[in-house]
Structure 1
Amino acid sequence: MIYATRQSVKAANDYLQDIENKIEYQITHNPEFSNIYITNQTFNLPDPFNFIDVPIKSIIIRKHPLDKTLYLTAILNPKFIHELQFNTQETTPYIRMQYYIGQSKKISKSCYSNLPSIYLPKYCSTVKQYSYSNN
């Protein structure tokens, strides 16, 4: 496992904070949504190795009908898939974020909290952790 450098973590933190702010806004204004599409957005997706800027073409937010988990998928191109999953269960809420670079490189970020899920995005923004793997 290759741990992130301080520079790559900061770039990823800034990127994630922007995403989380948009998601928090959508959840606040659409508490019962099933599908939300955010299109024509461009984010700078930091490649941890080369810092390649990748424009995100569209974002799909889905809420699972049974477990109320929120799924965010950003469509980049066939080689770049970005997923951000919110587990909104009050017992062990967490955010898991990962995106793939090519076919082999993966970045995963998890944040666990016993706080109510409504506070999770803000809480996680202070305790972000990233790991790099080839799994």
Structure 2
Amino acid sequence: MQIKRDDLHGPEIAAMLEAHLKDFEPHSPPESRHALDLDGLRRPEVHFYTAWEDNELLGCGAFKRLDDTHAEIKSMRTDPNHLRKGVARAILAHLIEEARAAGLQRLSLETGPMAHFAPARALYEAFGFTYCEPFGSYREDPYSVFMTRRL
């Protein structure tokens, strides 16, 4: 598996991110969905990475700088054909290392509290993320939980 910084211009990543956004529709109302679209992910404060094997897109993930020391994990997604193969684990480990290399001191994230998001929460917990209060511009929301980790 090769993980690389991505410019978000390939058709494969556009399709994966469209599926990512659609995946939230049955689980939370529009005002409680915080995933970024392609334009949001192309902003300079976002570091976006994709995982590939034999020219096949396996998954993606990003971090968005909130300030000089704090960033938010965004757009973690594994292609459904590659679940339970360590893709998300490899991407998250890569994001943590890239965030450290960028001088960040903390990573935080927002995800859902519903059963659908339990595997994601378990992954973050396994990497040392703990539950926290809303950060940045987030507010309390019954459709969100927040997690953080010091680097």
TM-score scaled by structure 2?
0.29
Q: Which has the higher helix share?
A: 2
TM-score scaled by structure 1?
0.32
